Amino acid sequence: MDSYIISEDLQLHQTEHSHDEEGNKMFGFIVFLLSESVIFLSFFAGYIVYKTTTPNWLPPGVEGLEVVAPAINTAVLVASSFVIYFAERALQRHNLWGFRLYLLATMAMGSYFLFGQAVEWNSLEFSLTSGAFGGMFYLLTGFHGLHVLTGILLQLIIFVRSFIPGNYDSGHFGVNATSLFWHFVDVIWIILFVLLYVWQ
């Protein structure tokens, strides 16, 4: 029990803080995403039950949903998942400008997706309050849209932070997490697209 022990303890402590914390954060983030996915699963399950049990599923006057424009939107979003992967790769190779450019491209694609969604919402002749169908449609696309928006904001943050000198000294957790989140948003959309547009 002397000062030697304490300084050793301190050192141990510091390495613990810097190293494990990255791993912990990523682990925690994955746990969180798994939990978050259950919200979507719950909505999906609800959608399936409503669709199969509601007597008058589509509101009066509504024939179905237009598929072509959302399909293009889908393609853009899926593609952006690859782009952000390139961004991550660039960062790993310490190619900062490559990273930033790919990141900007991702953000642009995400924004295009949101824009496309807004256009679609505007053209629809049913609303949030048009029975279970209207509610479900806007709930699913809206809740997913919020996630896309969050993803873009996260990308904006890591973009800005990439200009801070020494930002990556303690690891790339922020970038990896943002990227993972983006893939998550992407996968959710694919399921959503199948449920809402393909299965009519």
Partner 1 sequence: MTNISIESIGIANEQSHHDIPDNWKRYFSFSTDHKVIGIQYLVTSFIFFLVGGIFAMVIRGELMTPESDLVDRTIYNGMFTMHGTVMLFLWTFPSLVGLANYLVPLMIGARDMAFPRLNAAAFWMVPVVGILLMASFFVPGGPAQAGWWSYPPVSLQNPTGNLINGQVIWLLAVAISGVSSIMGAVNFVTTIVKMRAPGMSFFRMPLFVWAVFSAQIIQLFGLPALTAGAVMLLLDLTVGTGFFDPANGGNPVMFQHYFWFYSHPAVYVIILPIFGIFSEIFPVYARKPLFGYKVVAVSSLLIAVVSAIVWVHHMYVSGTPGWMRMIFMLTTMLVSVPTGIKVFAWVATIWGGRMRLTTPMLFALGGLVLFVFAGIVGIMLSSVPVDVHVNNTYFVVGHFHYVLYGTVTMGMYAAIYHWFPKMTGRMYYEGLGKLHFWLAFIGTNLNFFPMHPLGLQGMLRRVASYAPDAGYEFWNIVASVGAFLLGMSTLPFILNMIGAWTIGEKAPDNPWQAIGLEWEVSSPPPVENFEEIPVVVSEPYGYGKSEPLTAKTH
Considering only 14, 15, 19, 28, the residue that binds partner 1 (CB under 8 A) is 28
Tell me which of partner 1, ligand CUA, none is bound by residue 150, counting a contact when its beta carbon lies within the kind-specific cut-off of 5 to 8 angstroms.
none
Considering only 116, 131, 171, 174, the residue that binds partner 1 (CB under 8 A) is 131
Closest listed residue to residue 81, CA positions, set 51, 113, 50? 113
User: Which lies closer to partner 1 via its Cβ, residue 56 or residue 122?
Assistant: 56
How far is Cα 10 from Cα 14, in angstroms, rounded to an integer? Answer: 6
The residue written with tokens 């919020």 in the block is 146
How far is Cα 119 from Cα 115, in angstroms, rounded to an integer? Answer: 6
What secondary structure does DSSP assign to 151-167, as a single string?
Answer: HHHHHHHHHHHTTSTTT
CB of 20 to ligand CUA, least distance (A): 13
User: Which lies closer to partner 1 via its Cβ, residue 54 or residue 92?
Assistant: 54
Lookup: tokens for 146: 């919020």
* Residue 22 contacts partner 1 per CB under 8 A: no
CB of 125 to partner 1, least distance (A): 17
User: Which lies closer to ligand CUA via its Cβ, residue 2 or residue 63?
Assistant: 2
Long-range Cβ contacts of 169-172 (<8 Å, 24+ apart): 170/18, 170/22, 171/22, 172/88, 172/91, 172/92
Lookup: tokens for 10: 């301190």
* Residue 170 contacts partner 1 per CB under 8 A: no
Residue list 45-74, contact with partner 1 (CB under 8 A): 46, 49-50, 53-54, 56
Tell me which of partner 1, ligand CUA, none is bound by residue 46, counting a contact when its beta carbon lies within the kind-specific cut-off of 5 to 8 angstroms.
partner 1
What are the φ and ψ backbone dihedral angles of 94, each rounded to 5 degrees? 60, 30
Q: Please report, to the nearest 10 degrees, the dihedral formed by the alpha carbons of residues 109, 114, 119, 122 taken in order.
A: 180
Interface with partner 1 by CB under 8 A: which residues? 1-3, 5-6, 9-10, 12-13, 20, 23-25, 27-28, 31-32, 34-39, 41-43, 46, 49-50, 53-54, 56, 128-132, 134-136, 139, 143
